Amino acid sequence: MEENQDKALEAAVAKAKAAKAKADQAKAEGKQENPFSVAPNEQTRVKHVIGIVSGKGGVGKSSVTAGLAVELNRQGFNVGILDADITGPSIPRMFGVTTTPGIVGELMLPAETETGIKLISINLLLEDEETPVIWRGPAIAGVVKQFWSEVIWGDLDYLLVDMPPGTGDVPLTVFQSLPVDGILLVTSPQNLVEMVVKKAYHMAEQMKIPVLGVVNNFAYVQCPHCGEKIEVFGSSDRLDAWAAEAGVKVCATLPMDPDIASLADSGRIENIPVGLMEPVTTVLPE
Ligand SMILES: Nc1ncnc2c1ncn2[C@@H]1O[C@H](COP(=O)(O)OP(=O)(O)O)[C@@H](O)[C@H]1O
Ligand SMILES: [Mg+2]
Ligand SMILES: [Zn+2]
């Protein structure tokens, strides 16, 4: 009996050592292989996973995610959105989608927008959309992993992951568990002054996730009379300087436009102006 236990322990230790050695070797060879990664199901074939990240909330991260999905879809790509902002989900509302995801065996089918963008969000699974999610960090991170591994995404060119703001459990889990190609960092000119943006940048850097580009949202307001651009949140010079120093590209500079807000708030984000998010697509992997 005791002998058996010793053997089991020995075997477990040997297994752990082997796994560690494998991970170390992969690391030494510069491979991204990591022991936390979670496999998708057999009905999911995603070419590129892109994370949309911000230092804090309210800078337009979800709007950029939704708008980028619409632009990519218009360009003919198959697109999905994984709403990883479990405590502040807003993607379904922007698309006016309320469909409950279907269940196939142990897996879930994503909802689909009018133009065929696939999406999954905790909002689609909760009986009452107004109920706040009060789970603790690990439970939330677990749901995000399930949204990757237990959703039938099918064939996608791009899966956009709308992250919760900041550098908490969920971004860390997503970076560890999903094959993220790179991130887009959304900020406003004013927001950059705060450390939170740089923190988000450094987190990606530490996780060896490329920062594909910075989206400067709320950069200006255009006067409807004379067309003058007014930088309501201050000059973007500081953002440009920081980006240059960090070696990242400011891929889009977006105006504060009441039309964007009203389209997002009324569930008609699929009607955003053609080409608005086009500059963002240029930094994505092909
Ligand atoms: N460029 C923009 N012009 C006008 N309103 C915007 C713009 N980007 C976002 N908004 C609005 O600002 C609010 C916050 O945007 P949201 O995308 O939800 O931010 P986050 O996901 O970072 O919290 C929303 O009401 C949205 O409609
Ligand atoms: Mg959001
Ligand atoms: Zn004017």
Nearest CA to ligand 1 atom 27: 261
Gap between the terminal Cα atoms of the chain: 58
**Which residues span the domain enclosing 200?**
42-279
The number of the ligand nearest the C-alpha atom of 259 reads 1
Q: Is the CB of 57 under 6 A from ligand 1?
A: yes
The number of the ligand nearest the C-alpha atom of 225 reads 3
Q: Is the CB of 166 under 6 A from ligand 1?
A: no
Q: Is residue 18 part of a domain?
A: no
Please state, in angstroms and as integers, the Cα–Cα distance from residue 158 to each residue in 20, 82, 110, 266, following that order. Answer: 32, 11, 14, 25
Q: Is the CB of 59 under 6 A from ligand 1?
A: yes
Q: Is residue 95 part of a domain?
A: yes
- Span from the CA of 77 to the centroid of ligand 2 (angstroms): 23
Nearest atom of ligand 1 to the alpha carbon of 264:
27
The number of the ligand nearest the C-alpha atom of 232 reads 1
pLDDT score for 194: 73
pLDDT score for 26: 60
Nearest CA to ligand 1 atom 19: 60
Of 63, 191, 280, which is best to mutate to test ligand 1, by the most ligand atoms within 8 angstroms of its C-beta? 63
Q: Is residue 23 part of a domain?
A: no
pTM > 0.85: yes
Q: Is residue 183 part of a domain?
A: yes
Domain count for the chain: 1
Structure token pair of residue 242? 């920081």
CATH of the domain at 227: 3.40.50.300
Residue 180, amino acid: V
pLDDT score for 8: 55
pLDDT score for 1: 42
The number of the ligand nearest the C-alpha atom of 89 reads 2
pLDDT tens string 187-217: 998 877 678 888 899 999 999 999 999 999 9
Residue 161 contacts residue 52 (beta carbons within 8 Å): yes
Q: Is residue 50 part of a domain?
A: yes
- Span from the CA of 230 to the centroid of ligand 3 (angstroms): 9
Q: Is residue 31 part of a domain?
A: no
Q: Is the CB of 61 under 6 A from ligand 1?
A: yes
pLDDT score for 35: 67
For the CA atoms of the chain, what is the radius of gyration?
21
Q: Is residue 2 part of a domain?
A: no
Nearest atom of ligand 1 to the alpha carbon of 63:
17
**Consecutive 10-residue averages of pLDDT for the chain (286 residues):** 54 57 61 73 96 93 98 98 94 96 93 98 84 77 93 97 91 93 93 80 92 95 94 88 91 94 97 96 96
Quick one: angle between helices 195-206 and 169-177, nearest 10?
30
Q: What does the alpha-carbon distance between residue 223 and residue 129 come to, in Å, rounded to a whole number?
A: 37
Q: Is the CB of 260 under 6 A from ligand 1?
A: yes
Q: Is the CB of 253 under 6 A from ligand 1?
A: no
User: Regarding beta strands 111-112 and 118-120, do their DSSP bridges make them parallel or antiparallel, or are they unpaired?
Assistant: antiparallel
pLDDT score for 168: 87
DSSP one-letter string for the chain: -HHHHHHHHHHHHHHHHHHHHHHHHHHHTT----TT--PPPTTEEEEEEEEEEESSTTSSHHHHHHHHHHHHHHTT--EEEEE--TTS--HHHHHT--PPPPEETTEEPPEE-TT--EEE-HHHHSSSTTSPP---HHHHHHHHHHHHHSB--EEEEEEEEEPPSSSSHHHHHHHHHS-EEEEEEEE-TTGGGSHHHHHHHHHHHHTT--EEEEEEEEEEEE-TTT--EE-TT--SHHHHHHHHHHT--EEEEEE--HHHHHHHHTT-GGGSPTTTTHHHHTTS--
Q: Is residue 120 part of a domain?
A: yes
